[in-house]
Structure formats: structure tokens, C-alpha cells
Amino acid sequence: MTPAINLLKKKGIKFNVLSYDHDPNNTQYGLEAVEKLGLPAEQVFKTLVLEDNDNHLLVAVLPVMQQVNLKMLAKAAGVKRVQMAAQQKVENSTGYIFGGVSPLGQKKRLATFIHHCASNCELMYVSAGKRGLEVSISVHDLSRLTGAKLVDF
């Protein structure tokens, strides 16, 4: 069990867990999930933790095939700029290891932004909090549990 799965169970949210054998040499975690689970890439989302100009962390959830537009995300977050957060900061704040960060069940709740294209998905897949573990969830449930805003970035 991971904190993400525990949260989903506690809140009575409908979800499914999918697992695969993670290759420790593969650092393309989201793309590996697409390949090994045979999922549509547009439904598999990665969780990135970024830092704003005031050293506050925030979470961006976006399709694995896309890159985050830092300027658009900063604008959506109402800050001057954002940049990728250091690995140690990510792990300390979320409680998850790099490559297994889930937007759910983080140690510290962070401002979360989900790419608006998720609204086109009946189900989306995000990390369940461990490399090789994904969870399917509706965008409505994910945004409700994380307090996320759906925006373009």
C-alpha cells in the first residue's frame, strides 16, 4: 500500500491499480508505464514538482508525452516564474521517491495544476506512489482530492 492508495480507499473513490516490473535503468517512468501496461499515452499523466520564485513548491500533472510550459504554468499559478524542484526537495515534501511521485497522498499538500486536456479523458492514469505502480482515476476525483485547478500549461 502507498499513501495514494490509502487516501483513495479512505475517501471511497473508485479506482484501479495497475502494476508492472519497473526497469531500474529506465528513467522515462511515464513512457515506461504506457509501454508496459499498453495504455493510451494521452491518458497517462506524469506528476512534476516545481518551485516558484518564492521557493514554494507546486505540482503539475500533465500527459507523459508533453513538456510543461514553465511560463504558462507560472502565469496559471500567479507567480513570476517556476522551475523544476531539486530531487531531494521533491522527495522530502511529497514522501515519494523520484519517478514514483503521485499527486495523491503527499506528505504536504501542494498547490496542484492538472493540464486541461485531462477533461477529455474518462479515466486518467497517474502514479500510485511507487515506480511500477499506476492508478486509474477520474479527473473529477483527482482534482477534488488535490484541490487542483485544470489549466493550460
Q: pLDDT band for position 96 (50/70/90)?
A: very high
Average pLDDT, the chain: 97
**Measured distance CA(113)–CA(48) in Å, rounded:** 10
**Measured distance CA(105)–CA(11) in Å, rounded:** 11
* Digit-coded pLDDT (tens) for 49-76: 999 999 999 999 999 999 999 999 999 9
Residue pointed to by grid coordinates 500500500 = 1
**Measured distance CA(113)–CA(115) in Å, rounded:** 7
| Average pLDDT over every residue of 75-97 | 97
- Residue 97 C-beta-side C-alpha neighbours within 13 Å: 8
pLDDT computed for residue 123 by the predictor: 96
* Digit-coded pLDDT (tens) for 2-36: 999 999 999 999 999 999 999 999 999 999 999 99
Class of domain 3-151: alpha beta
CA 127 to each of CA 34, 55, 80: distance values in angstroms, whole numbers, following the listed order: 12, 25, 29
CA 140 to each of CA 31, 53, 74: distance values in angstroms, whole numbers, following the listed order: 24, 29, 23
